[in-house]
Structure 1
């Protein structure tokens, strides 16, 4: 396969998958690892993809005022059974009378269905989560000021001094684009900045991450180190090696049975 045809197919593969490793691309393109690495380097210089350790990521078209990341509703459909089980367990950690922060995200959003009978003060930067809780529960709901990014369902404030700094929470529930030994990872610097601001207002950080997040290569910006995490809730797809690594960091790992949830 000549260079331009192979590179065109490489870009098409990334557009379909979002990201791919060199090993995966070897099978798709029927080319050597060295050839694929050269192609990735050339396309990265041309601004046609994002080069990542061991592979490459699709470069989504620019959207005015948009954020880097997968569409919220697309994320809701991915591994939904795992996410529902994780969200149910996370909601059970909320105690009546508490103030908690629920960060925007597909798994954290699913907590709302299990908080309808709770009596909480909930600060969330998710418009859809706030809307569901306002209509389906009697919890007190707080929203930060800022711009609503529809595709990611998140409210981001451009200001350092906003309503967030006036509230303190005993727990913050957060997802992640990926989880690695370096910490929680995200794709967009604005999201990272917003999440760091929220973390400063919470005592315990509780991470909701299905097992696919430990293999994900779709993010490269560190939100926080693992040492900041108190509890991580995941599904039974997590490897023993990963679980041991997390526990060695002092994290309480809660594993749920995703198969017990309807798909």
Structure 2
């Protein structure tokens, strides 16, 4: 096992287990304790993990409880032109009759406008997406159950109802806190729980990530890159980030941002009001 692959496996193990001593990591990886010790030292220097006495632990983001992520309206005003272009390309991947899982987020929200008039089944945990689809098209819309976070316009922990558990979708569209060599990262443990369930319920997983999502540090592991079929991003994405995804066998669609629109155009509301 070469060093690059070993580092990726080590980070994945810590993402799954939280922390582990050197002997256990060495056994899992099938290498010597001295090799793991060197790897931990290098990855700690690169801020990819925390070195502990006799082992290592994953980097955890600072998470407040209850969940206090940016409000939907705040996030909707950031990188709007990138998000609309990405959402347009994502919607073009869909066909009438498809079953879609669409995660919450302001990039995935913009898909609703481009799916207007289509006939498909859509399962989502976003008030804004459900409202927009019901108002503009003929799709069947299933809104998941769970705890409501009105400011963020999301329901968590979702996707536990029977209607969703037994759903196998053609595609899952989801956002991300960041994309890294380890995989798709999210900023909050509540989002992780929902996302991990969903990635196994779709034939194809598509990540919508504007160029600001490359190069971020921190976050919590959601899934490995080998679970992702396609990433849609914008022309601002760094070449190194795109090449990283392509080396992992991911198809990458790069689209130019839309022209700036009037400030009031397509600003969504978060809650069911």
Check whether TM > 0.5.
Answer: yes
What is the CA distance between 1:215 and its match in structure 2?
2.5
Matched, 1:97 2:97: yes
**Residues 214 and 238 of structure 2 are in contact (CA less than 8 Å); yes or no, is this contact kept in structure 1?**
no
What is the CA distance between 1:133 and its match in structure 2?
0.9
What is the CA distance between 1:160 and its match in structure 2?
4.9
Matched, 1:108 2:139: no
Partner of 1:224: 223
What is the TM-score of this pair, normalised by structure 1? 0.72
**Residues 67 and 152 of structure 1 are in contact (CA less than 8 Å); yes or no, is this contact kept in structure 2?**
no
Partner of 1:252: 251
**Residues 178 and 185 of structure 1 are in contact (CA less than 8 Å); yes or no, is this contact kept in structure 2?**
yes
Partner of 1:189: 189
What is the CA distance between 1:261 and its match in structure 2?
5.7
* C-alpha distance in 1 between matches for 2:117 and 2:158: 34
* C-alpha distance in 1 between matches for 2:158 and 2:81: 35
Partner of 1:215: 215
What is the TM-score of this pair, normalised by structure 2? 0.70
Report the CA distance shift for 1:237/1:158 in structure 2 as closer, same or farther (over 3 A): closer
What is the CA distance between 1:162 and its match in structure 2?
3.9
Range with greater deviation from structure 2 (140-149 or 155-164): 155-164
The Cα RMSD (Å) is 2.2
**Residues 127 and 148 of structure 1 are in contact (CA less than 8 Å); yes or no, is this contact kept in structure 2?**
no
What is the CA distance between 1:163 and its match in structure 2?
2.9
Partner of 1:235: 234
The Cα offsets for residues 97-127 of structure 1, whole Å up to 9 and x where unpaired, read as 0101110011000100111111110001111
Report the CA distance shift for 1:84/1:139 in structure 2 as closer, same or farther (over 3 A): same
Range with greater deviation from structure 2 (105-114 or 197-206): 197-206
- Between Structure 1 and Structure 2, how many residues are aligned? 205
* C-alpha distance in 2 between matches for 1:158 and 1:183: 22
The Cα offsets for residues 211-245 of structure 1, whole Å up to 9 and x where unpaired, read as 0000223x420110111110000000011111111
**Residues 85 and 261 of structure 1 are in contact (CA less than 8 Å); yes or no, is this contact kept in structure 2?**
no
**Residues 147 and 156 of structure 2 are in contact (CA less than 8 Å); yes or no, is this contact kept in structure 1?**
yes
* C-alpha distance in 1 between matches for 2:68 and 2:188: 5
* C-alpha distance in 1 between matches for 2:157 and 2:233: 30
Partner of 2:124: 124
What is the CA distance between 1:262 and its match in structure 2?
3.6
Please show how residues 3-22 of structure 1 align to structure 2 within 5 Å: none
* C-alpha distance in 1 between matches for 2:210 and 2:107: 9
* C-alpha distance in 2 between matches for 1:159 and 1:112: 20
Partner-residue secondary structure (3-state), 2:122: strand
Please show how residues 46-65 of structure 1 align to structure 2 within 5 Å: 62=64
What is the CA distance between 1:159 and its match in structure 2?
8.2
Partner of 1:15: none
Matched, 1:199 2:199: yes
Unaligned runs of 5+ in 1: 1-51
* C-alpha distance in 2 between matches for 1:95 and 1:83: 21
* C-alpha distance in 1 between matches for 2:159 and 2:207: 25
* C-alpha distance in 2 between matches for 1:234 and 1:89: 9
Partner of 1:77: 77
What is the CA distance between 1:157 and its match in structure 2?
3.4
Partner-residue secondary structure (3-state), 1:112: helix
* C-alpha distance in 2 between matches for 1:184 and 1:136: 31
Moved over 6 A (4+): none
